[in-house]
Amino acid sequence: MQADAGVRQRGLLDRRIAFADTERAANYVFPFIDRRWRVPFIVVDLSMGPPCVLEVPIRVDQYRFRTPLGTSDLRRIESVPLDELAKLVHYDPWWMFRRVSGVDQAWIEAVFATNIATPFRHGGITHRVRDLVFSANLDRLEAVEAKRGAFHAVTFHPGDIELLALRSSPPARADFVRTRVAKAL
């Protein structure tokens, strides 16, 4: 992951974060983005309980991240007001929050509602987000890479699309069993 090439969301798995007081492994890192394409905070899973909120900036240094903050500066996701979450988006193609435990259900649902990993329409054409490209400090989103059909790639930059319009409802719940309807012959 090179800093000058931007940081891709799909590359934010299984990285190390060097805090001011220690270094920890992070299973995933999800920047949350506002309508101005700025990142007010990231959510990290440090394999030690529920996901935590970390303020930005966080600098890319080879294959790890560095922050001047200590681990005591981490806060629970519930510390973010629900109305603030409603004004943000994030991209989680793996729907990792399905597996989260120890977090109030209202915040899990609010995080699901901010995920832009579902198809969206722009200019009358259906697109699917393929990746997000962030600045080296993870403090702003620089591009949304999307697919249109099987082979057409499209890159959106600030001003091209409204990020909040890309949100949709979460996928079907894992505990919901869909019955198949047989077609008549």
Residue 92 in this model has a pLDDT that exceeds 60: yes
Banded model confidence at residue 179, pLDDT cuts 50, 70, 90: very low
Say if residue 59's pLDDT is above 90. no
Q: Average of pLDDT values for 74-90?
A: 96
Integer-rounded Cα radius of gyration of the chain: 17
Domain for residue 133, yes or no? yes
Considering the chain, what is the average pLDDT of its residues?
86
Domain count, the chain: 1
Within-domain flag for 175: no
Mean pLDDT computed over 138-145: 96
Q: Is residue 131 part of a domain?
A: yes
- 115 lies in some domain: yes
- Can you tell me the mean pLDDT for 64-86? 94
Domain range for 113 is 3-166
| More reliable by pLDDT, 47 or 130 | 130
Q: How many Å separate Cα 165 from the centre of its chain?
A: 15
Domain-located, residue 177: no
Contact status, residue 157 vs residue 143, Cβ threshold 8 Å: yes
Q: In this structure, what are the phi and psi dihedrals at residue 145, rounded to the nearest 5 degrees?
A: -95, 130
